[in-house]
Each structure stands twice: as structure tokens, then as C-alpha cells.
Amino acid sequence: MRQPTRPRVTTLFLVGGVAVAVAMAACSGSMPPSPITPTVPTITTLPSIDEMLSEKTLGSGPITIIEYVSLWDTASATFYLTGDGAQMKSQYADTGKAQILFRNLFLGSELATSGIPVAAMLARCAGNAHFFDAVATIFQSQATWKNAANPDTGVQQVMLGFGLSQSLINSCLANTALVNGLGQVHTNALQSTYQLPDGTQRTPTSTAIGQSILSVPAVVVNGVLFDGTNSDASANAAFAPTLANIQPFLK
């Protein structure tokens, strides 16, 4: 698993008028054999803001696994589509052993063009019935749209092909309540206190950059954080968000 030696602090994200520093780095997971095949719908209306901001879940088991990913991050794509995230889904969510909560965190480059998380917003504007297919589509085409001259325009083209009209896309990206709601989820994640696998605690004030999660993808199980970094914020494979690492905590 590729681990960051230091997190990258880049841009600012406006949440309710307050600028929040964004820092993320990447780590990847192992590769199981079965890729995700999304269904392409036709979408005629946007969901309500309550639906857009609702918790996105897979499965309904007694254990809760929280996954934090960035739709811009290559390692997050691997984790979700074919890596440890896909294994967690197939072995735990799909079998009724756990519920997976899918949450967005943001890389600085994800906000650089327009200042809003375009990919994350468009996935939520597809509605709950199509959300995970939208996420899979965005991740699968990530190398194309992220390397376009304008990545925000590139991901809009992807979602046009997914079933959102340009009119719906424009309305979605103009929704300030969605921007602020996603920003609040992001801020809450970075400002929470977590236990690390070795029993130590991580708080925002215990890290040099003032946030608790230092890389994506990241997984939280029963309050224990796996983000690939240990208590002194250096890379540690034993703290990575792999199925093997989290299994002892899935109780």
C-alpha cells in the first residue's frame, strides 16, 4: 500500500462562510477480482436537498464501517472499485454483517477550478437510487476527466453520459445548501477525535496541521481510525484501511 509521508495542505473550502484548510494524501488497497459495473439511468428531476445530503449507506448489519474517500483521488478509486473497499462491501455489507457509510473528503485540487466539489455534488444530485452507480462511473472515468483541460467540465461530461441533463447539472452546482452540507461533513470528519489501532488517540490539536484524518481513503470502525498514518503522523502499513487491518475491530 502506497503511503504518504506528509499530508498535502492546499486550498480552502468555504463552509457557511468560514474558510477551512483542506489536506489529503493517498493510500491504496489490494485488488480483488470483481469490478463494479454501474447502471446508467435517465434522470429527469433533482432530488430534494434532504435526499442529497442524506447518509449514503450500503448494507444494514450490526457493525458500522465509515469510509472516507475523495472522488479525485486515484487510490480512493482503486479502494472503492476493486480494492479493500470493494472487499468490505462484498464480505460485510452484502452479507448483512455490517453497514457501510460512504462519506466524501476533499483534495485541494478537487476545489481548485471552481471552489466547489463538483464530482461529489453531481453524484448526490443523481439521487439515492443512482448514487453508488454515479460514484462508480465517476471513479471509473477518473483518469479521463481529471486530466482534462478543465476537470470540472470533464466530470460534467461524464455525468451527461450518465443521465443528468446540462440543465440539471447547472442547477445542482448552483445549490449552495449542498455545498455547505458537504463541507460540514468534511469539517466534522477532520475535527473529530479518533482512537488509533494501537490504542492512542488522535485529535485535531495532536497533529501539525490541525485535523484528525491525514490521508484518504480512510476507514473508521467503532471509533478506530485507519488512514495509513500512526500516532506521530508517519506512514504505517499496519494503520492502513485494509480489510485485514480492520477485521479484529469488526465486533
Instruction: Classify residue 46: in a domain, yes or no.
Output: yes
In a domain, 2, yes or no: no
4 in a structural domain: no
Q: At 251, is the pLDDT very low, low, confident or very high (cuts 50, 70, 90)?
A: confident
Q: What is the CATH number of the domain that holds 63?
A: 3.40.30.10
Domain range for 22: 9-249
> For residue 10, what are the contacts with CB-CB under 8 A and spacing of at least 6?
22, 23, 107, 108, 109, 112
Give the model's pLDDT for residue 35.
61
The size of the chain, in residues, is 251
Asked if the structure places residue 74 within a domain, the reply is yes
| 4-50: pLDDT as tens digits | 333 333 333 443 333 334 343 444 444 444 567 777 678 899 999 99
Average pLDDT score over the chain: 87
pLDDT of residue 113: 86
Asked if residue 117 belongs to a domain, the reply is yes
- Window from 13-17, 90-94, 122-126, 165-169 with minimum mean pLDDT: 13-17
Most confident region among 39-43, 103-107, 175-179 by mean pLDDT:
175-179
Report how far residue 18's alpha carbon sits from residue 221's, in angstroms, rounded to the nearest whole number: 29
Q: Which of 7-11, 60-64, 237-241 is predicted with the least confidence, judged by mean pLDDT?
A: 7-11
Closest CA to 120 of 193, 204, 184: 184
Residue 140 has pLDDT above 80, yes or no: yes
The string of pLDDT tens digits covering residues 142-160 is: 999 999 999 999 999 999 9
The answer to whether residue 1 is domain-embedded is no
**Residue 52, in any domain of the structure:** yes
Mean pLDDT confidence for 183-188: 95
Find the mean pLDDT for residues 202-218.
94
Residue 61 within a domain: yes
Report pLDDT for 229.
Answer: 95
Residue 76 and residue 109 in contact, taking contact as beta carbons nearer than 8 Å: no
What pLDDT, on the 0 to 100 scale, is given for residue 136? Answer: 96
Q: Specify the pLDDT at position 17.
A: 37
| Total structural domains within the chain | 1
pLDDT of residue 2: 38
